[in-house]
Structure 1
């Protein structure tokens, strides 16, 4: 059974409430509000009802059992699996597209075998950015990074960047949300001797209904979640029904994260987004912080399986892999941490000081010479 325990806080300021022996009411020690026992019972019952309702609607409300389409023989006749012998990644391709190296670890040891099945996607966003655009974007990405080692830049093999469809679960849902926020408003006044700052504390309650269309959770264990979060957003208006023809000339990662494994992350992203949306309505305060997690009542949600386009390059430098990705629809570029040239890192900060010294010496020489 889900945990539906609730705690009651002061309805005026949000501070904890205390029942003092011998009193017929509950007292807030922060704002001195007094709430009768009857009012507390009603408040507690209301919170308990909302908590139970939210818990019931949160349980198993994603429709994960919908029937998926299956591959036909014509689609899979020319498809194959390429397995990395180093990290175990499995990439799907058509018979004419060979991965010369693993997109995840950079290993050249790719072993081909016959296509042996994977869940057929419902939708796909086709690639919009070409390889030439990906190379140009990555080259531009390097510019201005003065601490990047020259040999890393020269040997980065940007022309070997690969196009790959990444598996995603897309979660759709309509929700009702209640959230509380602690807010502060500061005012400052001057006296003859000092500046006085007064801080007023408020408890803001917000409720709303929202529809989420396509909360993305990547379905690949090898794909770093932080990468996928950074490379968003994708424009889901450009989703089209899946066809194996879109795989032609590209690689595709096999999903290895089941939809049920993805539910906690989907719920977490939904809650964070819902709380943020409600927080934007708490205006004209100097500081706003959420009071606990939002209370979410979710109607049954839908789950779609989609393949999204990504350009990816993993290169090894001094025994460490570095990964670069570009959103194949929007062109947004992200990367892992970049290597630093130790010599440049040590001496570059001294360059401005040296220049100032030389200019000062030159000016001094001109003055003395004059």
Structure 2
């Protein structure tokens, strides 16, 4: 615990002053001076070697529901809920020693500013759930230091790449001079960062990047007073390739800005490839970066809202309120309908055809959302999470016998189902119109209907394939209703019955199918805007 030297009260890190502050006597202390004076940085002289991270003592809170862990230096900063799964629970408390990071970027954005930035983000979405704007919910914003790996690189040597000069026209020909550029480079860069926590999704960290590396400071535990911190559980080697590519791009921009390549159009890919051959990556340093974190839990799904604690850049998962969406759509549809009614004379046949076009568009949108949802649920964009999962699987395999290991490993095969599903979906979307045209321009009506029904079956298997990946039974029911509606409408459109009430019945059925599918799209979007409850398997401490 950090106590005031003047009155003995608890100290906390004050964002506005950048110092440790006593709220009782208003005394201020520099974090580095306080830690060194009171020996808070408990490392021996040998341990203070810059290549050794060391260990410092802290309080660990572990969620009994998901296993998520956060740390704090302040005994007065209690954890009454989990930031990762949103559960209100008594957190398991333990004093532990954890690896000491080398750097820290202190908080610059205070909680009041954080709440304003969040409300601005949420209010920009008119369909946002009202619960997201309630003061009680917003008050749950928690300041957390997220671990990052900070990479450095040096380019030394001669890079060769192609470049084009200024084009000139001579008669009917355009001449573009080609050059081979040789650049002697001696450039050093640092500050490219990637999050080192498997519990912090890469999509989230990229959404609030970048941090200003000029604001980095040497780490002292007192910076954590009044806040929480996460620990690194993703190896620093995971993002080396990505960091290296960024350094290559940075070096190219520096050369271009210096004017060395003035008047030339560089072949960027070849230049960057050339830079990679003379690039030397240094050891990644550990750092803690500030993030304001808010969790919204709805049954078994979570929505995260995060604010960059240094720059104020905001990101929020914003689920849509279906009632607001349909009410807004209904109100908007009235003037549009009245305007079109004054310009166009409608017949049931024309209205039915328009509804079929809308239905096809809705089907495409639904398929796009399904693909995005599958990608997100599989953490395809979260390299840190996947590397952690792979590491845990390797540990499990190492504990097995050789025979068991051989039985468990399967060579991944190319997934052909997704390609077939995409083809089937395209066919089904086009089939109502293709079958209609086929029937109108030929006499084989029966064959046209068989074609349409056959492609309809293709849609069913397409959605069934995705349903297995999503484990979502509702999508099958929604598509069955939609499929019945669109094929009945196709049949009515082809027959073009004399009695209008049949056409109107088909229109109503198709509108119901569209509404159900739109409702499904919103539900899928809300799933996409949220994440499943996390389950962590951490060992914690300095282990």
Could you say whether these structures have the same fold, taking a TM-score greater than 0.5 normalized by the shorter chain as the test? yes
Please state how far the C-alpha of 1:239 moved relative to its aligned partner: 1.9
Alignment of 1:1-370 (within 5 A): 67-71=51-55, 76=57, 79-93=58-72, 94-109=74-89, 111-154=91-134, 157-176=137-156, 178=159, 180=161, 205=181, 207=183, 208-274=185-251, 290-291=269-270, 293-296=273-276, 297-299=278-280, 301=282, 303-336=284-317, 338-346=318-326, 348-349=328-329, 351-355=331-335
Q: Check the 8 A contact 1:162/1:311 in 2, yes or no.
A: yes
Give the Cα–Cα distance (whole angstroms) in 2 for the partners of residues 249 and 332 of structure 1.
Answer: 22
Distance, in Å, in 1 between the alignment partners of 2:103 and 2:234 is 17
Task: Please give the alpha-carbon distance, in whole angstroms, between the structure 2 residues aligned to 1:335 and 1:206.
Answer: 46
Q: Deviation string for 1:254-280 (max 9, x for gaps)?
A: 111233344334334334544566678
- Flag the 1:150–1:331 CA change in 2: closer, same or farther, 3 A: same
1:183-238, Cα deviation, whole Å (9 max, x unpaired): 7999999xxxxxx9979696775745432121112111111122222212222222
* C-alpha RMSD of the superposition: 3.8
Q: Quote how far apart the aligned CAs of 1:343 are.
A: 4.0
CA distance in structure 1 between the aligned counterparts of 2:95 and 2:138, rounded to whole angstroms: 29
Segment of structure 1 superposing worse, 177-186 or 229-238: 177-186
Query: For the residues of structure 1 that align with 2:149 and 2:114, how far apart are their CA atoms?
Result: 25
Q: Distance in 2 between matches of 1:187 and 1:343?
A: 61
Say if 1:134 and 1:311, in contact at 8 Å, map to a contact too: yes
Measure the CA separation in 2 of the matches of 1:181 and 1:278.
14
Distance 1:254 1:126 in 2: 16
CA distance in 2, matches of 1:203, 1:339: 53
Give the direction of change, closer, same or farther, for the CA distance of 1:356–1:138 in structure 2 (3 Å limit). same
Q: Distance in 1 between matches of 2:327 and 2:160?
A: 51
Once the two structures are overlaid, the 10-residue window that deviates more, 201-210 or 113-122, is 201-210
Q: Which has the higher strand share?
A: 1
Q: How far 1:309 moved relative to its partner?
A: 0.8
**Separation (CA, whole Å) in 1 of partners of 2:127 and 2:71:** 37
Note the C-alpha offset of 1:126.
1.3
- In the superposition, relative to structure 1, how do residues 300 and 260 fare at CA in structure 2: closer, same or farther (>3 Å)? closer
Give 1:290 deviation, angstroms.
Answer: 2.1
Q: TM-score, normalised by structure 2?
A: 0.45
> CA shift at 1:157, angstroms?
0.6
Structure 1 runs not aligned, ≥5 long: 1-64, 190-195, 363-370
Deviation at 1:357, TM superposition (A): 5.8
- 3-state DSSP class of the match of 1:329? coil
Q: 1:260 is paired with a residue of what secondary structure? A: coil
For the residues of structure 2 that align with 1:184 and 1:142, how far apart are their CA atoms?
Answer: 48
Decide whether aligned partners of structure 1 residues 197 and 112 sit closer, same or farther in structure 2, where only a CA change above 3 A counts.
farther
**Compared with structure 1, are the counterparts of its residues 184 and 300 closer, same or farther at alpha carbon in structure 2 (3 Å cutoff)?**
closer
SS at match of 1:348: helix
8 Å contact kept, 2:131–2:137: no
Point out which structure has higher relative CO (alpha carbons under 8 A, 6+ apart): 1
For 1:120 and 1:359, how far apart are their aligned partners in 2? Answer: 67
Bigger fraction of residues in helix: 2
Query: How many equivalent residue pairs?
Result: 287
- Match of 2:241, SS state, is helix
